[in-house]
């Protein structure tokens, strides 16, 4: 029955029912008493009418869009109800009209039906009422279902949208965190090395038993070493390709991930401890936690994302991630290209990673003495002519056949002689062979080639000397400039940067494109000393050995002394050139108005971004105020008002962060941000602040001598937090942030207030501690902190942001600065707002064992909040609280010392019972078996939480901890608790725990209190894993 028919029927029913009701009421009004059955009939019809009216209203609300749910139920019923009501109406009207005479005579109307007939009508009406009630309930139920479905759909849509937004946010956070932690991209080096692979080479290594043992082992080490140019990097790329290819075909449940790092002297991010740790972390995150950061790392990122991640913190995160990851292979190439001051510490960290038990570590390097000393017990493979002679022959043959400059020149016997001679004399050095082939490619005929084969250079140094000897006098100056830029640049240079750099002269006001050389001229002039990659728009020294050759003391004298590179001197020269570039008339118009304009400017002036972001780094360490060319440039750039446009243009580009993400994307936003320095109303103050911030000693000293901007020395923040000046730095906080102790001393000597509140860090002392951990850090900041403390800085000064020096040093894991603070009398009782953590608790929270032990030895454990001291019944002078802190953070060495000192007091005094039990439970939960072993020596199994600790160790899968606990208090074999734990361990996949329990007599077929067996628990667990429900 369609909705329209129901509506029409409903109108009729309601009308007729109303008439019937009216007639019934009329009978009642004329009668002295209305029989009960008549009242019941009127009531039934009234109810029927009301129910059907509700049904029609409900259907009307649905707009008749669909066939009613109750259509089948109502089919024929509506029409029948109408007919019966009409029949009843006619019957009542007939009798009422016939009784009009009686009313006139004053006699009451008589009900026209007998009681039995009336009750039959009541039954009929009840039947219709019931049917309509059922129809109404069906419609209401359908409506509620629809409403519920609609609400569910809306909720699902909202949840889906929220989930999509969360996923997008997680992805954005993930991408940002990767860019922050890992600015060095190892695949750049890998793809570059892969291009130079020669098919068939490297088999002597990959088919060797030593490499096979390393590859098959679940935890192993291998050191591959050889001299300069022996192909270590190419070999690394072959190994990585092999491991990645195998990885693709592995069972996902037992997959081994491969992560790697190419050390590179040409890129500071690839020659630093933070660079390698960050890169390995980034690869681990992508491999094991794609698109969603682990909670602990996300917390670490959110806390530190505004500063350069410190290498110690990165090291801890790397160890933590590896402990949660699966089996991992780590390959590090060219470790010898790390600075000697840091590579051994990095190597020791890599060894520590390998010792976690599920890491295969492979390192390649030259046989440097320090590296050899550390790796003396490693399995090793040496690269020399004895193993790679066939690879050399393949390489030489390939070059002769495919190098455009060689294949048309070498024919017949000459070709064969070149291949044989160079292959035999290479001594395992691909680099030597390549340079010799490049030399032969220059020759014009067979006679000259054969003569050259008879006087091949004995080593790489002789090759490089010959290259320099061939450079003409006309090209010599260009060659020197090219090699200086490439040797001392702070990152790999683009071709355009080198071309503009070598064309630039001190004193230039404009840059003349007519002085630019052709990119191919770089190779023509410098030969095999440099590598030009036009596809990737880069130019660099061809090999690490080239830089070593140019900077070696032996180059200071002799016929090629003009090419000697003194890195410090050349850095200062590059600083002058960069500053000259920034003073060009092209930039006098001032900052760009839009991001697009900024991108266009940097595209048009190739060296602009490098000069803006690196000139001050090249100038760091410059202390000679008698260097007139440099001082003149500085004075002009900082002081002259006609340089305001250039200075502000530089500020805009200087702010582009080059350490993360896409450079162009940063440019598009950078133009919005540079004006924040306009909180300094005085242009001279702003410039002086920059000189201090950049750590420029000679510049700062010269500005002081001029009296230019020295008001910045006495600047302090406004106490009004609503003003935009609340984070104004002064000269001292800026100098401290630079990390340059000489500049700090200069500003202090000029009268700076050591305890003035200024800048984002609050005080100079805190700025100095943070300086060792900033993006532009010059290194550890302990010397500056020591200087400030010696000069009288307040070690306990609390900043408006409720920070203090020791707390800062602890949070940054800076032991040296923490010790300086402690030695200077730091108050270990300080808490943030009186409620936060003390520095001691902070050290425990971050598991920094050296700082924790330092502060413990100085009494940090005795400063406990009164409520905590009361709860744990802590006794003054006893290090019970320190023991609890050590246990929570797995600081075992400190715990040992605490037990030696106070163990008897702690474990024999009933006042410490609650603390001891809680400490035991922490250790059992985390599997800190060394703690358990030490503490059991004092208690045996006689402590109230013993059974709970057994359960915790078993449920968490720590068999060693469980074994220690069971040893001191052997359980009964029929112990139901152990049987329950055996089933639980089986269900959770803790096979080692199950084996430990079975060794102690628990049956492998035991049944727990719920009737589960170990087999059933294991099967159900496997099924849940298979279905993805766990």
The secondary structure element, H or E, covering residue 911 is none
What percent of the chain shows pLDDT beyond 70? 87
Task: Report which of residues 149 and 463 the model is more confident about.
Answer: 463
CA–CA separation, 835 and 643 (whole Å): 51
pLDDT number for residue 724: 40
Over range 362-385, report the average pLDDT. 93
DSSP assignments along 258-294, one per residue: EEEEE--TT-GGGSSHHHHHHHHHHHHHHHHSTTS--
pTM tops 0.85, yes or no = no
Over range 58-82, report the average pLDDT. 67
pLDDT band at 901 (very low <50, low <70, confident <90, very high): confident
pLDDT number for residue 1023: 64
pLDDT number for residue 468: 95
Give the model confidence (pLDDT) of 820-839 as tens digits.
999 999 999 998 766 678 89
Q: Which residue matches tokens 């923490």?
A: 818
Pairing of strands 530-533, 538-541: antiparallel
pLDDT number for residue 306: 74
Task: Report which of residues 40 and 617 the model is more confident about.
Answer: 617
Q: What is the DSSP letter of 971?
A: P
Listed range (861-875, 886-900, 986-1000) with the worst mean pLDDT: 861-875
CA–CA separation, 310 and 821 (whole Å): 20
For the chain, the C-alpha Rg in angstroms (whole number) is 43
What are the tokens at 410?
């070498």
Pairing of strands 359-365, 328-333: parallel
Residue of 646, 673, 670 lying closest to 658 (CA atoms):
670
Over range 491-497, report the average pLDDT. 92
CATH number attached to the domain at 182-383: 3.40.50.300
Over range 39-58, report the average pLDDT. 77
DSSP assignments along 443-480, one per residue: --SHHHHHHHHTT--SSHHHHHHHHHHHS-HHHHHHHH
pLDDT number for residue 127: 83
Listed range (74-88, 249-263, 309-323) with the worst mean pLDDT: 74-88
Over range 726-734, report the average pLDDT. 80
* Sign (positive or negative) of CA dihedral 126, 130, 132, 133: positive
How many other C-beta atoms can be found within 10 angstroms of the C-beta atom of residue 295?
A: 8
DSSP assignments along 23-37, one per residue: HHHHHHHHSSS--HH
Over range 115-119, report the average pLDDT. 82
CA–CA separation, 854 and 837 (whole Å): 16
pLDDT band at 615 (very low <50, low <70, confident <90, very high): very high
CA–CA separation, 936 and 959 (whole Å): 16
pLDDT band at 725 (very low <50, low <70, confident <90, very high): very low
> Is residue 67 pLDDT above 70, yes or no?
no
> Is residue 870 pLDDT above 80, yes or no?
no
pLDDT band at 663 (very low <50, low <70, confident <90, very high): low
Give the model confidence (pLDDT) of 326-366 as tens digits.
899 999 999 999 988 889 999 999 999 998 878 999 999 99
Over range 459-476, report the average pLDDT. 94
What are the tokens at 571?
């850095």
Helix/strand/coil percent split, the chain, to 5? 65, 5, 30
The secondary structure element, H or E, covering residue 638 is helix 628-639
Listed range (27-36, 394-403, 687-696) with the worst mean pLDDT: 27-36
Range list of β-strands (E), 246-405: 257-262, 328-333, 359-365, 380-383
> Is residue 943 pLDDT above 80, yes or no?
no
The secondary structure element, H or E, covering residue 936 is helix 929-939
Mean pLDDT, the chain, whole residue set: 84
What are the tokens at 43?
């009531």
CA–CA separation, 419 and 244 (whole Å): 33
Count Cα atoms within 13 angstroms, Cβ side, for 150.
6
pLDDT band at 422 (very low <50, low <70, confident <90, very high): very high
What are the tokens at 676?
């924040």
By CB neighbour count within 10 A (0-12 exposed, 13-18 middle, 19+ buried), where does 494 fall? Answer: middle
pLDDT number for residue 1028: 46
What is the dihedral angle through the alpha carbons of 321, 325, 328, 331, rounded to the nearest 10 degrees?
A: -20
Q: What is the DSSP letter of 976?
A: H
Over range 131-157, report the average pLDDT. 78
pLDDT number for residue 107: 52
The secondary structure element, H or E, covering residue 1011 is none
Give the model confidence (pLDDT) of 957-984 as tens digits.
899 999 998 888 776 545 678 888 888 8
By CB neighbour count within 10 A (0-12 exposed, 13-18 middle, 19+ buried), where does 473 fall? Answer: exposed
pLDDT band at 161 (very low <50, low <70, confident <90, very high): confident
CA–CA separation, 326 and 284 (whole Å): 10
Listed range (30-34, 36-40, 408-412) with the worst mean pLDDT: 30-34
pLDDT number for residue 793: 95
pLDDT band at 78 (very low <50, low <70, confident <90, very high): confident
What is the dihedral angle through the alpha carbons of 439, 445, 449, 452, rounded to the nearest 10 degrees?
A: -80
CA–CA separation, 293 and 582 (whole Å): 41
CA–CA separation, 3 and 812 (whole Å): 75
pLDDT band at 206 (very low <50, low <70, confident <90, very high): very high
Q: Are residues 363 and 335 in contact, defined by beta-carbon separation less than 8 angstroms? A: yes
pLDDT number for residue 660: 42
Over range 279-290, report the average pLDDT. 93
What angle, rounded to 10 degrees, do the helices at 946-955 and 959-968 form? 150
């Amino acid at each position: 029955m369609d909705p329209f028919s129901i509506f029409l029927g409903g109108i009729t029913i309601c009308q007729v029912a109303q008439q019937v009701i009216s007639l019934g009421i009329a009978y009642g009004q004329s009668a002295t008493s209305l029989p009960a059955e008549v009242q019941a009939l009127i009531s039934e019809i009234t109810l029927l009418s009301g129910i059907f009216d509700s049904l029609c209203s409900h259907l009307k609300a649905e707009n008749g869009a669909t066939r009613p749910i109750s259509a089948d139920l109502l089919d024929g019923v509506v029409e029948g109800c109408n007919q019966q009501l009409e029949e009843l109406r006619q019957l009542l009207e007939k009798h009422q009209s016939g009784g009009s005479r009686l009313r006139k005579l004053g006699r009451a109307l008589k009900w026209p039906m007998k009681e039995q007939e009336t009750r039959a009508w009541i039954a009929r009406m009840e039947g219709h009422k019931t049917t309509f009630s059922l129809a109404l309930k069906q419609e209401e139920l359908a409506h509620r279902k629809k409403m519920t479905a609609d609400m569910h759909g809306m909720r699902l849509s909202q949840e889906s949208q929220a989930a999509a937004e969360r996923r997008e946010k997680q992805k954005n956070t993930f991408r940002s965190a990767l860019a922050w932690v890992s600015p060095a991209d190892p695949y750049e080096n890998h793809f570059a090395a892969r291009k130079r692979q020669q098919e068939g080479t490297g088999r002597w290594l990959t088919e060797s038993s030593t490499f096979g043992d390393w590859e098959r082992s679940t935890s192993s080490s291998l050191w591959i070493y050889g001299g300069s140019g022996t192909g270590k990097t190419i070999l690394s790329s072959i190994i990585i390709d092999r491991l990645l290819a195998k990885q693709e075909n592995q069972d996902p449940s037992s997959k081994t991930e491969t992560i790697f790092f190419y050390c590179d002297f040409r890129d500071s991010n690839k020659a630093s401890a933070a660079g390698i740790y960050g890169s390995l972390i980034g690869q681990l995150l992508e491999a094991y936690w794609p698109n969603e950061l682990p909670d602990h790392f996300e917390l670490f990122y959110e806390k530190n994302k505004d500063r350069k991640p410190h290498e110690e913190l990165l090291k801890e995160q790397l160890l933590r991630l590896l402990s949660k990851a699966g089996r991992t292979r780590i390959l590090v190439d060219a470790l010898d290209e790390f600075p000697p001051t840091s590579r051994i510490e990095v190597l020791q960290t890599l060894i520590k990673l390998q010792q976690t038990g599920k890491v295969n570590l492979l390192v390649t390097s030259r046989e440097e003495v320090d590296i050899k000393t550390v790796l003396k017990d490693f399995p090793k493979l040496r690269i020399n002519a004895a193993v790679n002679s066939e690879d050399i022959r393949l390489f030489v043959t390939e070059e002769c056949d495919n190098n455009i400059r060689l294949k048309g020149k070498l024919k017949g016997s000459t070709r064969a002689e070149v291949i044989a001679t160079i292959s035999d004399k290479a001594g395992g050095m691909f680099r030597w062979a390549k340079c010799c082939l490049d030399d032969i490619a220059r020759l014009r005929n067979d006679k000259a080639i054969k003569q050259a084969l008879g006087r091949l250079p004995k080593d790489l140094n002789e090759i490089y000397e010959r290259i320099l000897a061939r450079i003409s006098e006309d090209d010599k100056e260009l060659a020197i400039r090219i090699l200086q830029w490439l040797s001392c640049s702070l990152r790999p240079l683009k071709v355009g940067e080198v071309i503009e750099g070598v064309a630039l002269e001190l004193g230039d006001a404009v840059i003349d494109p007519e002085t630019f050389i052709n990119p191919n001229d770089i190779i023509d002039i410098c030969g095999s000393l440099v590598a030009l990659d036009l596809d990737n728009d880069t130019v660099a020294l061809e090999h690490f050995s080239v830089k070593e050759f140019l900077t070696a003391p032996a180059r200071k004298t002799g016929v090629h002394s003009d090419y000697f590179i003194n890195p410090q001197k050349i850095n200062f020269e590059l600083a002058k050139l960069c500053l000259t570039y920034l003073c060009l008339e092209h930039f006098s118009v001032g900052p760009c108005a839009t991001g697009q304009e900024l991108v266009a400017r940097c595209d048009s002036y190739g060296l602009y971004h490098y000069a803006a972001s690196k000139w001050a780094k090249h100038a760091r360490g410059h202390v000679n105020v008698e260097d007139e060319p440099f001082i003149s440039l500085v004075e002009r750039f900082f002081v002259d008002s006609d340089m305001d446009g250039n200075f502000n243009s530089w500020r805009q580009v200087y702010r582009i962060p080059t350490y993360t993400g896409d450079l162009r994307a940063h440019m598009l936003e950078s133009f919005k941000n540079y004006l924040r320095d306009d909180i300094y109303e005085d242009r001279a103050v702003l410039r002086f602040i920059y000189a201090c911030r950049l750590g420029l000693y000679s510049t700062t000293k010269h500005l002081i001598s001029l009296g230019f901007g020295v008001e910045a020395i006495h600047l302090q923040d406004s106490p009004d937090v609503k003003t935009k000046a609340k984070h104004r730095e002064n000269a001292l906080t800026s100098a401290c942030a630079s990390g340059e102790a000489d500049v700090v001393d200069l500003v202090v000597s000029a009268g700076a207030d050591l305890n003035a509140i200024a800048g984002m860090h609050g005080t100079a002392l805190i700025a100095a501690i943070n300086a060792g951990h900033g993006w532009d850090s010059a290194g550890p900041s302990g010397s500056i902190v020591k200087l400030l403390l010696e000069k009288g800085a307040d070690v306990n000064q609390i900043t408006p942001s409720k920070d203090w020096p020791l707390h800062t040093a602890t949070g940054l894991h800076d032991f040296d600065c923490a010790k300086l603070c402690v030695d200077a009398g730091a108050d270990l009782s300080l808490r943030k707002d009186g409620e936060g953590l003390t520095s001691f608790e902070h050290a425990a929270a971050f598991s920094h064992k050296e700082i924790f032990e330092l502060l413990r030895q100085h009494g940090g454990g005795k400063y406990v909040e009164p409520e905590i001291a009361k709860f744990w019944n802590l006794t003054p002078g006893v290090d019970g609280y320190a023991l609890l802190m050590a246990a929570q953070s797995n600081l075992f060495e400190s715990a040992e010392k605490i037990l030696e000192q106070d163990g008897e007091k702690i474990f024999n005094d009933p006042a410490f019972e609650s603390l001891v039990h809680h400490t035991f439970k922490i250790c059992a939960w985390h599997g800190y078996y060394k703690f358990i072993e030490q503490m059991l020596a004092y208690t045996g199994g006689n402590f109230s939480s013993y059974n709970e600790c057994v359960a915790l160790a078993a449920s968490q899968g720590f068999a060693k901890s469980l074994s220690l606990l069971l040893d001191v208090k052997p359980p009964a074999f029929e112990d139901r608790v152990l049987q329950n734990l055996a089933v639980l361990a089986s269900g959770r996949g803790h096979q080692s725990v199950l084996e430990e329990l079975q060794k102690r007599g628990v049956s492998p077929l035991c049944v727990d209190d719920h009737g589960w067996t170990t087999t059933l628990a294991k099967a159900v667990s496997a099924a849940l894993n298979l279905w993805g429900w766990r």
